[in-house]
Amino acid sequence: MTPEFITMIGKETIMVVILVSAPILASGMVIGLAISLFQAVTQIQEMTLTFVPKIIIVMVALLFFAPWMMELLINFTTHMISGIPDYIK
């Protein structure tokens, strides 16, 4: 194994992690921004107003994106496991 090969594996792993986490993080960020804007306009400073909707939206996003995320993770894992003979050369 060359340093370039290890770097390539690391790059692929980081890309998969970013792709898998991006929809969940983005949905949480968007709803957080919307709630913050609502709180600034109405001057309501209730902590549960930010926490509960974020949890609900993140769970909905997780249910919606779960098949795509699982497919991506399965393809990555299959690719890594099938490449083991090449890795030990």
What pTM was computed for the model? 0.78
CA–CA gap between residue 59 and residue 64 (Å, rounded): 9
pLDDT at res. 83? 87
Query: Residue 84: which pLDDT band, with cuts at 50, 70 and 90?
Result: confident
Q: Which residues contact 24 (CB under 8 A, 6 or more apart)?
A: 58, 61, 62, 65
pLDDT at res. 30? 95
Residue 69's φ and ψ, nearest 5 degrees, are: -65, -45
Query: Residue 77: which pLDDT band, with cuts at 50, 70 and 90?
Result: very high
**Are the CB atoms for 24 and 62 separated by under 8 Å?**
yes
CA–CA gap between residue 46 and residue 80 (Å, rounded): 47
pLDDT digits (tens, 9 = 90+) for 9-59: 999 999 999 999 999 999 999 999 999 899 889 888 887 788 888 999 999
